[in-house]
Amino acid sequence: MKKIFLITLLSFICSVSRAQLDVNSAPDASNPFNPGSWLRFTTGGTPTSIVEFWGLNLTGTNTQPVKINNTSLLVGYTSNGAGFGNGNAYISGSVGIGTTNPGAKFDVSGNVLVGTGGNDAYINIRGFNGSSSQIQNNSGLSANYNGLAITSNANNANNLPAWTLDLGGIDRFNYNNFDTYSVRRNNIEQFRITSNGNVGIGTTSPDQKLTVNGTIHASQVKVDTSIPVPDYVFKSGYRLKSLQDVKAYIDKNQHLPEIPSASQQEKEGVDLGKMNQLLLKKVEELTLYLIEEHRTNMILKFEIKTINKKLLQQPKTNAKQNQP
């Protein structure tokens, strides 16, 4: 009996030293292997670990640290794996590639290459509520994009899309839930585009299509007019105010008729297009005043010349009348 026991023990030690385990048996009540099933772990040369389980203390029928179910791999899955699908992998902990201390569910120390067999490839980042963002690389053969695209969607009206491109917390390109695009530099907002299409530079509350808090330097500015060009001043039916009426208005209001007062301009600003037309109107009216003054001067000159001529002729007439 001792010889049989020693021979059996020696055979087991030799098998372990070769790091091999072969199982091939017919099923019965005490054997979980199906007919023809193989389970084999083997190495050559110096024995090394093929599969190791450390610190296992398992109880319960649904506690299975490693399981292959329907061609799916389950690690740390505490159920029977039913309904998990085919060709999938489930790992309950974190996965580290190139690192022994993964800081997230999937941590890679090195480069990552993402590709497909088709024209496009993308990485989808999905939230718990179903909203997602995608980083897409498109070849240009698809109908949607060409090049690199970053897309986002929202799954309901209460979860509006928003995204931020942030560099170090001080430089940022942002789109928020209020449909506003903004760009920050050195943590100071440079410009924004609001939901109504207004653009603000140096201001966070643009009230016009372009609102600039600062100086604009341009080689040329073209303004479309919103009021009629005042050439109507030269038409025959135009009623030109008398200079007496203009003087009375100025004495009372301290500014020209139709021109906004200084206080109004300081409060509301200056509409360049409208102001330019009003100033042109005043220049044209001033031209009419000068023309009228010139006509009056010409009449006066003619009358003075006539009077002078009569005065020059008067001595001769008097001399003739005084002759005996």
Q: What is the pLDDT of residue 246?
A: 95
E strands within 176-300? 181-185, 188-193, 199-201, 210-212
pTM higher than 0.85 for the full model? Answer: no
Q: What is the pLDDT of residue 312?
A: 81
* pLDDT band, very low/low/confident/very high, at 319 (cuts 50, 70, 90): low
In tens, the pLDDT along 236-257 reads 899 999 999 999 999 999 999 9
Question: 152 or 290, which is more confident?
Answer: 290
Q: Is the pLDDT of residue 9 over 50?
A: no
- % pLDDT > 70, the chain: 58
Helix, strand and coil percent figures for the chain, each rounded to 5: 30, 25, 50
The rounded distance, in Å, linking the Cα atoms of 196 and 179 is 9
CA 120 vs. chain centroid, Å, equals 23
Q: Is the pLDDT of residue 5 over 50?
A: no
The rounded distance, in Å, linking the Cα atoms of 180 and 197 is 9
Other beta carbons less than 10 A from residue 37's beta carbon: 13
Q: Is the pLDDT of residue 149 over 90?
A: no
Q: What is the pLDDT of residue 18?
A: 44
* pLDDT band, very low/low/confident/very high, at 40 (cuts 50, 70, 90): low
* pLDDT band, very low/low/confident/very high, at 279 (cuts 50, 70, 90): very high
Instruction: Spell out a b/e string for 102-128, using b for 16 or more CB atoms within 10 Å of the CB, else e.
Output: beeeeeeeeeeeeeeeeeeeeeeeeee
Give me the count of residues in the chain.
324
Q: What is the pLDDT of residue 97?
A: 92
Q: Is the pLDDT of residue 19 over 70?
A: no
Question: 211 or 58, which is more confident?
Answer: 211
In tens, the pLDDT along 181-240 reads 888 888 888 888 888 889 999 888 899 899 999 999 999 988 887 778 889 999 989 999
Q: What is the pLDDT of residue 79?
A: 63
* pLDDT band, very low/low/confident/very high, at 272 (cuts 50, 70, 90): confident
